[in-house]
Amino acid sequence: MNKFYITTPIYYVNDKPHIGHAYTTIAADVLARFHRLKGEEVFFLTGTDEHGAKVAASAEQAGKLPQDFCDENSAKFQLIWDRLNISNDHFIRTTSDQHKAGVEKFLTKLKEVGAVYEGDYSGLYCTGCEKFITEKELVNGLCPDHKKEPEVLKEKNYFFKLSDYLPKIAELINNGELKILPENKKNEVLGLIKQGMDDFSISRESVKWGIKIPFSENQVTYVWVEALQNYITGIGYGSDDKTFNKFWPANIHLMAKDIIKFHALYWPAMLLAAGLPLPEVVFAHGFFTIDGEKMSKSLGNVIDPDVLVDEFGSDAVRYLLLSQFPFGADGDVKAGNFVIQYNSDLANGIGNLTSRVLSMVEKYLDSIVPVKDFEFSDEVAGIWHQYEDAMKRFQIDDVIEIIRKLNSFADGYVERQKPWQLAKEDKDQLNKVLYNLLESVRHLALMVYPVMPEVSEKIFGYLNQADWKNKSFKELVDWGGLESGQKVEKPQPLFPRLEK
C-alpha cells in the first residue's frame, strides 16, 4: 500500500485561529482525503507552535503561566479544526513530551556529526518575527511586518553550519529530488542560495520558554529550529520508530510563502546533516487580501472562521475559501460575494441538481434505479482524468472547476433531454436519461468528498450507498456503480438558499 504524509505548518498560539490558518489547513485536508480515497495509507499532521519569546510575552500580558496560556489557545485551534471537518491523524503540540524527546535526539545528532558549533552572536532581533533581521530589511528603522524597532541582542549561541549544505540542496532542487512549488518559489530559493547565506543560530540564551539544548545548561532551542522538527517528532521520531519509518519522508510540506526559506533551506540542510531523507515537495501558497484590502485588525476585516461556519456551514466555507483564486498564487478573497457564490454554486448548483434528479426519479420511477445505461461513461471518465491530474498538481481550484464542469454537464443534459416530456412520450429513453443523471450525481458526490465531506456523505445516503467507503477507488470511479432495482431516497435541501 502506498503512503501519503502531508503536513501544515504548526500555528503560533499567541493569537486565535484566523482565515489564513483555515485556508492552509483545509487545503491540506482536501489532499489528505483524496489520497485516502485512492486507498493510500495517509498521515496528516497539523498542530501548534508553543515556545519562544513571543508566546511568553503574550502569556505574561494575559496574566497567565505560559503552559496554561498554550493549553487554552491550542484548544481553540483543535476546536475550529473539528468544526471545519479537518481529518488530521495527529495534532502535535511543541510543549508535548513526544516533541521534546524528538528534538533532543535530533539536536544531539547534529552535534555528534559536527554540524553545530558555539559562537558569539550580535544582531537585531524582532520578537514579533521570532528571528534576527538585517539593517537592510528595516524600513525607517522598523521591522516591516510588525512596525517595531528590533532590539540589539548579544549572546553566546550554538550555530548550524548551513553553508556546508547549500551546494547539495541546490543540486537536489535542480535535479527535481527536492521539488519547490510553485515554480517561482523554486527560483526564489535558488536565488537565496546563489547570493549566499550565513550559518544560523539554533539556540537562545535570553529566552527561557523553550526546549533546553541537550548539550547546554543555559540555552534553549531557537523556536523556529524546534518547530520545524515537528514534522518528524509528530510521526514518532524519538518515540515511535515504526510509525516514523513508515511515513517519513513527507510527501508534501504545505505552508504560506512567508516561511519558504525555513522549509526549503534550513530544514533540508538539517535533515541532510542528520542523515535523514528530505521531503518530496515543499509547496508555498500565496497571500490573499479580503475584498481588495490587506487583512488587519484596524480595518476590521480579519475574518473569524467560527463566524463563517456559523453563517454558511463547514462544507460551504471549505468550498468558498478554496475556490477564490489559483492555489499557490496571491489572490483576493471576495468575502462580500460569499452569499452570492453560495447561492449560485451550491444552492443552485450541486444542491439543485441532486434534488432535481432524485425528485424526478421519485416522481417517474417510484424512487427505483432504472436499467443501467452507459451514455455518459466516456465523458465522465475523461472528467475523472482531469480531476486526478489536478489533485496530483495540488491545483485545488482546478479540482473545484472540474466539479462545476460535471455539474454543468448534467444540468445541460436535463435541459436537452426534458425528462418531464419523456415521461409522457418515451419511457425507455426516460429510463436511460434518469440512470445517467443518477450516476452523474453519484460521481459528483465522490468528487466533492475531499472538498465537502458532509454533503458528499448526505448524497451517498440519499443514493443508499452507505457502504461506499468499503469500495476501491477503481470501483467507485467506474461507471455503473448504482445497481438497477435499488431504491433511492428523496433528499432534503443540501444548501438552503441564503438571503443577502
Cell numbers found for residue 65: 503561566
Q: Is 297 marked active-site?
A: yes
Residue 6 CA to its chain's centroid (Å): 8
**Dihedral of alpha carbons 447, 459, 6, 197, sign:** positive
Question: Residue 58, SS3?
Answer: helix
Q: Which of 294, 469, 487, 490 is catalytic?
A: 294
DSSP per-residue string spanning 332-387: EE-GGGHHHHIIIIIIIIIIHHHHHHHHHHHHHHTTB--S---TTHHHHHHHHHHH
Q: Which of 136, 242, 297, 424 is catalytic?
A: 297
Q: Which of 146, 148, 469, 490 is catalytic?
A: 146
Cell numbers found for residue 365: 420511477
Q: Is beta strand 90-93 parallel, antiparallel or unpaired with respect to 41-49?
A: parallel
CB 485 within 8 A of CB 369: yes
User: Is 70 annotated in some ligand binding site?
Assistant: no
CB 160 within 8 A of CB 273: yes
Q: Is 385 marked active-site?
A: no
d(CA 453, CA 449): 4
User: Is 143 annotated in some ligand binding site?
Assistant: yes
Q: Which of 100, 129, 186, 443 is catalytic?
A: 129
Q: Is 263 marked active-site?
A: no
Q: Is 143 marked active-site?
A: yes
Partnered with residue 43 across adjacent β-strands are 5
CB 124 within 8 A of CB 138: yes
Q: Is 146 marked active-site?
A: yes
Q: Which of 51, 70, 100, 126 is catalytic?
A: 126
d(CA 432, CA 421): 14
What stretch of H or E contains 175? none
- Strands (DSSP E) found in 222-377: 252-256, 281-285, 288-290, 331-333
User: Is 126 annotated in some ligand binding site?
Assistant: yes
Q: Is 51 marked active-site?
A: no
Q: Is 294 marked active-site?
A: yes
Name the one residue in this structure whose C-alpha cell is 447561492. 343
Question: Residue 494, SS3?
Answer: coil
**Residues recognised as catalytic:** 18, 21, 126, 129, 143, 146, 294, 297
Binding region for Zn(2+): 126, 129, 143, 146
Which parts are annotated binding residues?
A: 126, 129, 143, 146
